[in-house]
Amino acid sequence: MRFSTRTFLGSVVPFAALLVVSFWTVRSVVITTVREGLATSVKENQKALAQERARGASRNRVMLQGVAENAALKAGLQLLATEPNAREQARNTVEDQLSEICEALKFDFMMVSGMRGKSLAAILREAGGFVPVNNRQLHPPEQGFFSTDGRTYEIISVPINEGGAQVATLTVGSRFDPTQYGVPAVLLHDGAVVAAQMRDLAPSEIEKALLACPPDAECEPRIQGQTFLSLPLGLNQTNSGGYTLRSLQNMDAASAPVQALLRKLFFGAGLAALAAALGISALSSRSIVRPLADVASRLRQSTATGDLPEFPESTTGVQEIRDLTEGFNQAAKAVREGREKLTRAYVEFVGSLAQALDARDSYTAGHSRRVSEYSCAIATMLGLRREQIETIRVGALLHDLGKIGISDLVLQKAGRLTPEEEKLIRQHPVIGRRILENVHGLEPYIGMVELHHENWDGTGYPHGLKSEQTPLYARIVKVADAYDAMTSDRPYRRGMSHVEAINVLIKATGSEMDAVVVKALAGLGDLQKHKEVLSAGTSLQSLAFAVRRGIPIPVRPAMEEKEAS
């Protein structure tokens, strides 16, 4: 093997391996960060739901304690216990009272049992109303889950006292609905699936995957070749009768769009970098015979700038020196081009990630791009420098990045959000910060992603910052975000006009919005009337530049002819 060939291989193989390892490491870090953000979101979601359910159970218990003091119910129970001859009539009376209570309180099951746990009277909700459950040995737990006739109920119990002593127990329940938790949920009884929200997974697959999960701890089972995150929903108890309630979130499906985007971007960037490495190695192998002393001297001089030097053409008659000079200069050019390609790939990555976020909801398509354009125009009106505007442009594209960690069940809900769902939505700035802070190079955009929902008077989230405690960049994105939201059409309303939106923003100055930023947006004029200019190739930022300097706004010839006519 020739010396030049050995030199070429010795140069290109380590460089190619370094590129592969670097890209794989970055891809792994990003995907791991996304998965951790999703897992954190699911955990916080479930924690909030568990707290709300605990508060609801406490309210129900207080309400039922009042029901247990019902004089008519106690009289019926006393008659049922003391008059054997009238027991059937007494049971009917108690069942009628239970039916009225169930109907009023919207329960599906109610039972009164004696001190030994034997059922005295019980009713179930059917299609036509409530029906009694007679001659059955029902033994539900005091709290948890209970199944009968192929239906599962979530129940709680309260004592019925008479004269300071417990004489009976009142048990009520509602039909179990796995869709009420905001995340995919599954209920198991002794390891067997009783109810599940995931229709595309067979119960046997779920049972087999969850078999190795600890009862009260999270785990990551694999089902159908995909990784799921499963956490207990905080309802498992020692007296639950073998029932276990867990979430089952498909982590691979949630992070699939980001993984696909990263694979595409890294593949293109890797090919460009590998091509640059091949070119550098080829040129180096042909010019290796050049006197290394001169090369080393010039390289030492270049350490101050950090760039490969360009050597002047040699005037000597030594062919090897001329070849080395020319080859090294071309190599320096190839490195710069490779760096520019990687920079372009990074910019494309930011734009593609913003498109991937908007694609989750067809009604907000283009939102991130428009917010970025409005933000750059506002920054231009405020006289910010070009590099500052570029930072704002990218940060605005990524401002809703954290919504990738919010469940589609909440993010794409058509109706009004519940307080619990609103609390989950408010987690997206924190989720976005967690994603960005672990990726080198994205630190300048963290403030805009995390703080664009802070209010001027300190009533915003996630930290309640006041006035200029919130960075200017984030205040600019907030105004641009609100303007686009108000002027965009939604399924349930038409977008506002420019004037209406500006008036709303002006009213919000001093409370939610920065008055200086709102004034800068208002100074652009009616953006709806500038559509012809923008479609002719003039950017909104150029329009802002012209407005700020008093330059007349260009008008298309077609518009002039129309006005002349």
Residue identified by tokens 């004696």 is: 114
3-class DSSP assignment, residue 460: coil
The domains located in the chain, with CATH, are 3-53+253-345 (no CATH), 68-179 (3.30.450.20), 185-247 (no CATH), 360-564 (1.10.3210.10)
Cis upstream peptide for 462 (omega within 30°): yes
Token code pair at residue 188? 């198991």
Residue 247 DSSP symbol: E
Residue 401 is predicted with a pLDDT of 84
Cα–Cα distance for residue pair 383/377, rounded to 1 Å: 10
pLDDT at 344: 61
| Distance in angstroms (rounded) separating the CA atoms of residues 231 and 245 | 9
Place of tokens 């300071």: 164
- Judge contact between 381 and 548, C-beta under 8 A: yes
CA-to-CA dists, residue 483 to 15, 394, 524, angstroms = 48, 18, 13
Which position has the token pair 């995907």?
31
CA distance 357 to 258: 9
Interacting residues of 550 by C-beta distance below 8 A, sequence separation 6+ = none
Sign of the CA dihedral with 65 first, then 67, 68, and 70 last = positive
| CA–CA gap between residue 480 and residue 460 (Å, rounded) | 16
Which residue type sits at 64?
Answer: L
Between CA 25 and CA 31 the distance in angstroms is 10
**What is d(CA 474, CA 79) in angstroms, rounded to the nearest whole number?**
71
359: CB partners within 8 A, 6+ apart: 257, 365
The single-letter DSSP state of residue 111 is E
Q: How many whole angstroms separate alpha carbon 396 and alpha carbon 258? A: 18
CA 326 distance to own-chain centroid: 52
Length of the chain: 565
From the list 114, 150, 110, 147, the residue with the least C-alpha distance to 131 is: 110
pTM of the model: 0.42
Q: What is the DSSP string of 116-153?
A: TS-EEEEEEEETTEEEE--S------SEEEEEETTEEE
Please compute, for residue 191, the number of CA atoms within 13 A of its CA located in the half-sphere on the CB side: 8
How is residue 439 annotated by DSSP?
A: S
Q: How many CB atoms lie within 10 A of CB 179?
A: 11
Q: Which residues contact 318 (CB under 8 A, 6 or more apart)?
A: none
Contact between 355 and 370 (Cβ < 8 Å): no
Element (H, E) at 503: helix 498-507
Kindly list the distances between the CA atom of residue 37 and the CA atoms of 21, 40, 229, 456, in Å, as whole numbers in the listed order.
24, 5, 12, 28
264, HSE (Cβ side, Cα atoms, 13 Å): 12
Give dist(CA 431, CA 472) in Å, integer.
21
Cα-based torsion angle of the residue sequence 258, 261, 262, 263 in order, rounded to the nearest 10 degrees: 120
Per-residue pLDDT of the chain (565 residues; tens, 9 = 90+): 555 566 566 666 776 777 777 777 876 776 677 667 767 776 777 677 777 777 777 777 777 777 777 777 777 777 776 665 667 777 787 888 888 888 888 888 888 887 777 777 888 888 878 888 765 567 777 778 878 777 888 888 888 887 777 878 888 888 888 777 777 888 888 888 888 877 788 888 888 888 888 877 888 888 888 888 888 876 544 445 678 888 888 878 877 777 777 777 777 777 777 777 667 666 655 555 444 455 556 656 655 555 566 666 655 544 556 666 677 677 767 766 766 676 566 656 666 766 776 666 665 678 888 899 899 989 998 999 999 999 999 899 888 888 888 887 877 776 778 888 889 889 999 998 998 887 777 888 999 999 999 999 999 999 999 999 999 999 999 999 999 989 887 766 788 888 999 999 999 999 999 999 999 999 887 665 654 444 444 566 676 766 666 665 554 443 443 443 3
